[in-house]
Amino acid sequence: MKYPLAGLALASLLLVSPWAGAAPKDGAADKLAPMLESLEIGSPLPTLPDCADKRTPDGRDVTALCVEVRGDGVMRQVGVPRDKRPAFMDGPHVVAFVDRNALVGLIVPTDGVRSEKTAVESLTARYGKPFRSEQVEMKDKAGQPVKSTHAGWMRKPLTVELYAIPEDPNNGTIEMLLPQARVLMADQDKAMAQQLNPNAASAAQAAPASKAEAKKGKDGKW
């Protein structure tokens, strides 16, 4: 089980978009449909307004699809209005992975074990029976044991994964990723690790040179 930190060209992505967001088997049960019809994985990310202009009066929600201006362009926080997001989604934002303006992945925060049954039903309605599903034993913040579903779906090359956060099972995640998104996630994790521990990165770069020097000194040649 993995819990990531936070991993091609547009022409190739457009070739997969017809099935990446294909119509579900059971439209009534697919609670993700309104959001994914607007944010279609494998297609260009639509031009969205700044969320600063689309907030509700209390500032806690958004009134239309929008994007937060913060971000590096690869990972973008997209606001989803209430009428387009599923009830099991936690908060008004998803994380979008963008490669050359193509939407290659979404990370959807959920209510974890509190609503995972509905989330599983919705994903199954859209993508069919999961290729794997297991019950994972966890403990909530009060120390009480709970069981959570960890499940995965695949519609190649799109992969979908649902899981609860071990430290707090009342929060969870749905990952919907094309291979390009995983590359972007790995690059982001690597960059963050280097920021947190730059000395380790320098040592890793110096290690090959040190080994080469040792070999040269021993053999008298490279």
Q: Can you give the pLDDT at residue 184?
A: 85
Residue 115, pLDDT above cutoff 70: yes
Q: Can you give the pLDDT at residue 16?
A: 33
- For the packed helices 179-196 and 198-219, what is the interaxial angle rounded to 10 degrees? 90
pLDDT band at 28 (very low <50, low <70, confident <90, very high): low
* Mean of per-residue pLDDT scores for the chain: 81
pLDDT in tens, 121-174: 999 999 999 999 999 999 999 999 999 999 999 999 999 999 999 999 999 999
62 contacts 79 by C-beta, under 8 angstroms: yes
Residue 212, pLDDT above cutoff 90: no
Mean pLDDT computed over 28-56: 93
Residue 98, pLDDT above cutoff 60: yes
Question: pTM for this structure?
Answer: 0.75
Range ranked top by mean pLDDT from 10-14, 72-76, 152-156, 192-196: 152-156
**Which pair of structure tokens corresponds to residue 45?**
């990310």
**Sheet arrangement for strand 168-177:** 66-71, 75-79, 93-99, 102-110, 168-177, 158-165, 145-155, 132-139
Q: Can you give the pLDDT at residue 203?
A: 54
148 contacts 138 by C-beta, under 8 angstroms: yes
Q: What gap in Å lies between CA 12 and CA 157, rounded to an integer?
A: 12
**Which pair of structure tokens corresponds to residue 129?**
């029976």
SS3 25: coil
Residue 14, pLDDT above cutoff 80: no
pLDDT band at 70 (very low <50, low <70, confident <90, very high): low
